[in-house]
Amino acid sequence: MPVTTEDVAQVALLARLSIPEETMEDVTGRFTRVLELVAELQQVDTDGVVPMSNPHDMEQRLRADAVTEENRRDELQKPAPSVEDGYFLVPRVID
């Protein structure tokens, strides 16, 4: 299905994009090539292919779950205007 400059203008309007008239033909051609690539990819047989979350075969390096700082909550809450049971109290902003 060929893409027209009117199609691209409509998509640009919906996406709130401003495409200068002098570049509309170029953008239309690029948009058409992207849609052709998507159509080509849809033809690929992916039956039996396990989806991946990451194309790299890596393991997540995790740090040890250890406390690295002391608890200074009381000291840090001293300048707060309102504190209760270790929590900062803030004024209600939504009724």
Residue 1: predicted pLDDT: 67
Tens-place pLDDT, residues 83-92? 999 999 999 8
- HEC string of the chain? CCCCHHHHHHHHHHCCCCCCHHHHHHHHHHHHHHHHHHHHHHCCCCCCCCCCCCCCCCCCCCCCCCCCCCCCHHHHHCCCCCEECCEECCCCCCC
Please state whether the predicted TM-score (pTM) of the whole model is above 0.75. no
Domains of the chain, residue spans: 5-35
- Report residue 80: phi and psi, to 5°: -70, 140
Instruction: Indicate the residue type of 51.
Output: P
Q: Alpha-carbon distance 34 to 88, whole Å?
A: 51
Tens-place pLDDT, residues 16-34? 999 999 999 999 999 999 9
